[in-house]
Structure 1
Amino acid sequence: MNIFAKACIALLVLVSAASAYAQTGNVYKALNARCRIADSRVISSPLPASTVRNLDVTAISSYATQGGTADAAGCGIPTTAQALAVSLTVLPPAGASGFFKIFPYLGAWQDGNTVNFSGVGITNDVIVREDTGPSAAELSIYSSAQTDYVVDVVGYFEPPAVPTLSCVTTANTTVSVAAGATQNVIAPVCASGYVPTSTNCESGSWQMPFVFVNGGTCSAQNNGGSAAELRASRTCCRVQ
């Protein structure tokens, strides 16, 4: 009979909004290359004055209907994204002036304008929070005057990955303890990258109670009439 013992040793429209995402623990990840999610010139559909238009960003196979790239999956924007780093270009007709906003899907506008324009094209880099609800679209845009636009995503913010604990048990170190004798046995060390979290001691007889468990060492006295085994191993863990 065995005895076992264990000893457990955004686009918020203001660039400053980026700091808010950092404070909430979101992690910024840059895309390998900018991803064009919308270009009104490609679909010959400028945004009319005083009109809201919605843009799909995640869980979509192609941005072509928005004038963007045909391979949305290749952009690598995950559905877990909470905010986007966007390069926004506004291309108004000659002489037109106004303001342009980009914001979470049908959400409240933040104070200030994403872009103010006056007759010439202008580009602004901004951070925008995206809507993560059940709707297909994540972003909305609005312009006070008719204009063409180009929306490129260059990065995104998402919650940090939840660490997982990976644990393994080493092989046993085994010694034979003679009748009436006391013996120590040292468990094998953990593999590189792992930290010992417990020492596991086993004996082959009820007549061999443990004297102590100290770090990676097990000690036992054999009170039986014949030799018995004393075994030691370690549980080793690491965060992944």
Structure 2
Amino acid sequence: MPSTSHSLRVSRVARLPLAAAMACALALAPAFAADAPQGGQRAGTAAAELKPAERGELARQFVLKWGGYVQRMYDVPVAEWAGRMVPTFIAADPMNLRNAMARETFEGAVAELTGTGHRLSDGDVVDRYAMAPADLSGQEAAAIGTQALGSTAGDLVFTAVTPCRIVDTRVAGGRINADSSRSFLGVAVNAGANFTFQGGSATNCNVAAVGASAIVLNVTAVLPSAAGFATVYKSGETRPLAASVNYAPGAIVNNSVVVGVPNPLGINDFVIYTFAQSDYVVDIVGYFSPPQATDLQCTETPISTFNISAGAATFINNPVCPDGYSEVMPYCYTNASGVYSRGSGVNSNTSGLATFCAWQNTTAATQQVFGGSICCRVPGR
């Protein structure tokens, strides 16, 4: 299934003011014109410079794609956010901007643009997704931070997914009895898994083996038999005193909850306790997982041709890597007999730290050699 940020975009884009995106693109036009290439050539098609009109169109598409999500999740009007994004659109290099448009979450797209990304803070997540009674004790409040949002290896990164049904006791399992608990899975163990056995989707809800330490759920109590509450908590832990959903008899009540899950995954992920007999429907809307390392992005410069004079021993500086990339390895080659390599490396005395190839021509004629650079960077930087 597509990611959730994608679903939020679909649900709101019809109401997203197109004028905001167009105004953003028009405001950017003069800056983009000034940003036109001034000579020189980027290596590889992925790192090729964008024409001002192309950059403006990508910026407009970015605003249209994510404006509704930003307005809903961050409470920032679309036009205001688009204006704030102008310096980022101008500064983003071509590969970053193109790759950002291909990402399926807003946080991932911004990380691609800037190299830093945006993550909902713990406070934002609690305010938006978790229900906490007004008389929540200090110990219980700490438990929300350390258990529901705590990391197994550092800060957790939030990823939204398309809201997807993982539990429906009306379909499977039946009503949960009064003063009883039932355990459920919240994260699919592999790509072929599904949630039909607990009344949910026949898909894996795009949460297969994500390494989650916490998940974000919309939990609905359906027609409880009496007034009461439900508590959703991490499998394997003691049930906390805080309520996740409060309900009246015969009501249909929904609330969003952040709940920790075992990492690595256990037999079950979370538990629902209910004070009164009731059906429950649960949709997953996102998850928190430890940051993951990403592969380097690499490209290569054009291969240049150089002439080595007869009997000469010299070195040649190769083309410099594109902005944002670092030289990783020189490329040195010749098919001329009697011309030998005398080494290669990075010339720290040159602007841009060009790689070099050293040659010795033992023949009585000028010979051709070839050189270039392999260039890499951390994605998004």
**TM-score scaled to structure 1, two decimals?**
0.72
Q: Is the 8 A contact 1:185 1:230 kept in 2?
A: no
Which residue does the alignment assign to 1:150? 281
SS, match of residue 128 in structure 1: strand
Contact 1:184 / 1:217 at 8 angstroms: preserved in 2? no
- Which position in structure 1 is the counterpart of 2:234? 104
Among candidates 196, 213, 219, match of residue 82 of structure 1: 213
Q: Which 5+ residue runs of structure 1 have no aligned equivalent?
A: 1-9
Aligned residue runs from structure 1 range 37-116, under 5 A:
37-43=166-172, 45-57=174-186, 58-59=188-189, 61-69=193-201, 71-73=202-204, 75-80=205-210, 81-94=212-225, 96-116=226-246
In structure 2, distance between residues paired with 1:62 and 1:19: 25
**1:35 pairs with one of 153, 157, 164:** 164
| Aligned partner of residue 65 in structure 1, secondary structure | helix
The one of 246, 253, 263 aligned to 1:122? 253
Q: Tell me how far apart the structure 1 counterparts of residues 165 and 243 of structure 2 sit (CA, whole Å).
A: 21
Deviation at 1:87, TM superposition (A): 0.7
Q: 1:238 to 1:175 in 2, by over 3 A?
A: same
User: In 1, distance between residues paired with 2:343 and 2:216?
Assistant: 64
Q: Percent identity?
A: 28
User: Match of 2:270?
Assistant: 139
Please, what TM-score do these two structures have when normalized by structure 2? 0.48
Higher helix share: 2
Letter in 1 for 2:354: G
Alignment partner of 2:176: what SS? Answer: coil
C-alpha distance in 2 between matches for 1:48 and 1:150: 15
Shift of 1:172: 5.6
Bigger mean CA deviation after superposition, 150-159 or 230-239: 230-239
Q: Which amino acid aligns with 2:179?
A: S
**Distance change (3 Å), C-alpha of 1:161 and 1:121:** same
For 2:266 and 2:299, locate their aligned partners in 1 and report how far apart those are by CA, in whole Å.
43
Deviation per CA, 1:65-97: give whole Å up to 9, x if none: 21222x122x21132222111111112445x12
Asked if the contact 2:330/2:357 (under 8 Å) is kept, the reply is no
Structure 2 residue ranges without an equivalent (≥5): 1-124, 133-143
> Between Structure 1 and Structure 2, whose CA radius of gyration is higher?
1
* Separation in 1, partners of 2:196, 2:371: 63
CA distance in 1, matches of 2:358, 2:264: 61
Aligned ranges 1:86-235 → 2 under 5 Å: 86-94=217-225, 96-119=226-249, 120-133=251-264, 135-167=266-298, 170=301, 171=303, 173-179=305-311, 181=312, 183=314, 185-190=316-321, 194-199=325-330, 204-205=339-340, 213=347, 214=349, 215-216=353-354, 218=356, 226=364, 232-235=371-374
Change (3 A) 1:134 1:172: same
- Could you tell me which amino acid in structure 1 is paired with residue 280 of structure 2? Y
Which secondary structure state, in structure 1, belongs to the residue aligned with residue 158 of structure 2? strand
Q: What is the aligned length? A: 223
Aligned amino acid, residue 146 of structure 1 = Q
Taking only aligned residues, the RMSD between alpha carbons, in angstroms, comes to: 3.7
Distance 1:56 1:229, change over 3 A: same
Higher strand fraction: Structure 1 or Structure 2? Answer: 1
Query: Aligned-pair distance for 1:30?
Result: 1.6
Letter in 1 for 2:317: I
Tell me the SS of whatever aligns to 1:107.
coil
1:165–1:238 CA contact under 8 A, matched in 2? yes
User: Does residue 376 of structure 2 align to residue 237 of structure 1?
Assistant: yes
